[in-house]
Amino acid sequence: MKTILAAVIFSLSAWLAVPAFAEAVAEPMVTVNINDASAAEIAEGLKGIGMAKAEAIVAHRQENGQFESVDQLTVVKGIGPATVENNRARIALQ
């Protein structure tokens, strides 16, 4: 009897765990062109970039011209190498 009860509990626990794994859907990759996107688009599309940093990116672009490399973002105040690495696949230059 204990064996049957253990088997039923095991089956139910495995069955209840399946929806948790099914919900782990990969989010679609958003690409943001930092050379023509608005501050709102940059803030929405890049992780760890809020509106203030996005506005700083746009201001830097307007004052200094287009970014020639993704790594060049680190010259913008508040944007460090870790932020660039976290967003490298999301950033486009054209």
pTM here?
Answer: 0.70
pLDDT confidence band for 42 (50 / 70 / 90): very high
Mean pLDDT value across the chain: 85
**Share above pLDDT 90 across residues of the chain, in percent, rounded to a whole number:** 67
User: Is 33 strand, coil or helix?
Assistant: strand
**Share above pLDDT 70 across residues of the chain, in percent, rounded to a whole number:** 72
Domain positions in the chain are 32-92
Distance between first and last Cα of the chain? 68
* Domain 32-92 indexed as CATH 1.10.357.10: no
- Determine how β-strand 32-33 pairs with β-strand 91-92: parallel
- Rounded Cα distance between 5 and 25, Å, is 34
